[in-house]
A = this chain, B = another copy of it.
Amino acid sequence: MSRGVLSSPPVRRVTASDVAQAAGVSQSTVSRSFSDDPRISPTTRAHVHAVATRMGYTPNALARSLITNRSGMVAVIATQQSILAMPQMLTAISQALGRRDQRMLLFMPSDESDVQNAVNEAWSFPLEGAISCVTLTTSHLDGFRQNRIPVVLYNRRASGLADSACTCHHAAAADVAQRLWHSGHRRFLCLAGPEDAPVGRERALGFAGQVRSLGGAAPQMVETDFSYDGGHRAVTHALQSGPRPDAVFCVNDQLAMGACDALRYGLNLSVPRDVSVVGFDDIPEAARPAYQLTTLRQDLTSLAQRATALLEARRADPEGQIQELDLQAVLVQRQTARF
């Protein structure tokens, strides 16, 4: 805490030139002292650092980036909804970026239709890359390419048009369908999420496809949102107006928890004796004693590490082959499904 600075505050930030003048060296020397250039003598470096500390100087990372072309910033694009539903996504990405000394510039479109504004704004920053947790159109991807910003999709696909790291939603859901089938379930209800949500759709289609290919009757598909309440409502309505299913597959855990509560407390059924319920994601709440949800776990941390690695690789080789990484989801067997 330097009284001097506090009592007579300069109007602008302290710059390398200010430090140079105060230290009696050139601005180049100040710069080199801070980039740990080995040619600067230890004495000079120490002196410069001492003066800099006294003056409260920190190099401006973005003035630096003009020349080095490394800003240390990566855009992350995720809808508000998805962040509220799965904040683990953000913490995982932040940690993965941190290991590479990168920082997250967060763009939060209100929904998938608001993505255009977000990407337009993102393009104006000198980014080292962008991680998109929302689906991008060809024109979005093209804009990133024109602006020389590598993009990787997080838990989405772009059909060969961009790098991506993605859980095998389709395969995992199909696997669950198969297991349920083999343990005797025949009447399936699927809470499919919103129609325009690609991840939920993948999961629902993987499930339904497998059931049909096993010769079963097509599952009853119900469009929902992604919330606990949505799951509660959908199950309540479906069972009041139709035959009782013996298994409910939910494209996420919130829906599944709502489904369990509706079945147990609303409809007085036993889970899993009367009805099996399976979720997707394995959010922390799924493990609570009150639910003990059987669900598919996706590894958000690995996904994040892969995504940042893909960004790095793309920077190194802008013209290289596009990579689409698959991560398997693993079935976490708890108490809500008879297998």
Given contacts A80-B94, A125-B62, A285-B228, contact A56 B1 (CB under 8 A): no
- From the candidates B6, B95, B121, B139, name the one contacting A1 in the complex (CB within 8 A): B139
- From the candidates B5, B56, B94, B290, name the one contacting A261 in the complex (CB within 8 A): B290
Q: Give the Cβ gap from A68 to chain B, nearest Cβ, in Å.
A: 13
Q: Does A20 contact B (CB under 8 A)?
A: no
Residue with the highest number of chain B CB atoms closer than 10 Å, among A73, A98, A125: A125
Considering only residues 55-72 of chain A, those with a C-beta below 8 Å from chain B are 55-56, 58-63, 65-66, 69, 71
Given contacts A62-B65, A106-B103, A289-B261, contact A148 B12 (CB under 8 A): yes
Instruction: Evaluate contact between A143 and B56: CB separation under 8 angstroms.
Output: yes
Instruction: Evaluate contact between B62 and A1: CB separation under 8 angstroms.
Output: no
Instruction: Evaluate contact between B126 and A62: CB separation under 8 angstroms.
Output: yes
A83: which B residues are within 8 A, CB to CB? 87, 90-91
Considering only residues 65-116 of chain A, those with a C-beta below 8 Å from chain B are 65-66, 69, 71, 73, 80, 83-84, 87-88, 90-91, 94-95, 98, 103-108
Residues on A facing B (Cβ under 8 Å): 1-2, 5-6, 9-10, 12-14, 55-56, 58-63, 65-66, 69, 71, 73, 80, 83-84, 87-88, 90-91, 94-95, 98, 103-108, 120-121, 123-126, 138-139, 142-143, 145-148, 228-229, 232, 261, 265, 284-285, 288-290, 318-319
